[in-house]
Amino acid sequence: MSTVTSNTTLTPLTSAQVLDLPQLLERCLGDLAFAERCLVKFQQRLQADVEQLQESVNAGDTFEVARIAHLIKGSAATVAAMPLAETANAVEAAARQEVSCDAELVTATEVFVKEVKRFMDVVPMFSTIG
């Protein structure tokens, strides 16, 4: 199993591409303060989940990788972080393949980790939305 690195290059995204704020607010029934609390909580959880996911990738535990990626995909979609949900979905799909393909999983994880970083960089600007 290859080790996850951060060599993949992606084009920088704008904040609007990282987070679909109107969609998030619809789900929060327009409650800005509640939306902000959810984002903060999501960020806190995300950091720990990503570390656990990388450890599982490195350990070759594809079952655990799929489980964590699925969890992140669901919560990312719920807070309307759609690119993050899509990259987590790619990790989950790679981990669930019947014939395991290490390279594909590692690449998907690298893309995902990059997206996580973008999300972490961009989202603090939403902390003032409430």
Partner 1 sequence: MRILVVEDDWITAQMLTHALEAFGYSVTVAEDGDEAYQYVRSGEFRLVVTDWEMPGMSGLELCQRIRSRSSGGYVYVILLTSYTGVENVVRGLDAGADEYLTKPFTTEELAMRLRVGERILSLESRDMTIFALAKLAESRDSETGEHLERMREYCRILAEELSTHPRYREIVDGEYVAQMYLTSPLHDIGKVGIPDSILLKPGKLTSKEFEIMKEHALIGGRTLQSVAEQHPEASYLRMARDIALTHHERVDGGGYPVGLRGESIPLCGRIAALADVYDALTSKRVYKDAYDHAIAKEIILSERHQHFDSDIVDAFISREEDFLSVSQRYQSEVVESITNESLLTNA
d(CA 98, CA 80): 30
* One residue of 18, 19, 28, 123 binding partner 1 per CB under 8 A: 28
d(CA 3, CA 54): 9
Binding window for partner 1 (CB under 8 A); candidates: 9-17, 57-65, 73-81, 114-122:
73-81
Query: What is the crossing angle of helices 102-122 and 82-96, to 10°?
Result: 160
d(CA 41, CA 129): 15
23: contact with partner 1 by CB under 8 A: yes
52: contact with partner 1 by CB under 8 A: no
63: contact with partner 1 by CB under 8 A: no
Kindly list the residues in this chain that would bind partner 1 in the complex (CB under 8 A). 23, 26-29, 31, 34, 38, 41-42, 45, 67, 70-71, 73-75, 77-80, 85, 89
